């Protein structure tokens, strides 16, 4: 699974609702759209701590 990381004013975020799933053996991939309550933009907590210390 691949998630694209985006940088915004609030920090780094990933899209949990539409990750990319890649089969490296067959060399194919698809975007999977989740039906649950996963957020489109999820702020990565560890990135916020690293940003403060840098």
- Whether residue 45 is predicted with pLDDT greater than 80 in this model: the reply is no
* C-alpha pair distances (Å), 51 with each of 6, 8, 11, 13: 14, 12, 8, 13
Higher pLDDT, 28 or 44: 28
Residue closest to 15 by CA, chosen among 27, 24, 6, 25:
6
The CA-based dihedral angle spanning residues 11, 21, 28, 35, taken in that order and rounded to the nearest 10 degrees: -110
pTM of this structure: 0.48
**What is the number of domains present in the chain?**
1
The structure tokens listed for 4 are 């694209």
For 13, the domain range is: 5-53
Phi, psi angles (nearest 5°) of residue 50: -65, -35
Give pLDDT tens digits for 30-42. Answer: 988 888 887 777 7
């Amino acid at each position: 699974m691949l998630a694209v990381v985006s940088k915004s004013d609030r920090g780094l975020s990933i899209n949990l609702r539409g990750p990319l799933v890649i089969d490296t053996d067959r060399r194919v991939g698809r975007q999977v759209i989740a039906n649950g309550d996963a957020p489109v933009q999820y702020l990565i907590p560890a990135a916020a701590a690293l940003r403060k210390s840098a």
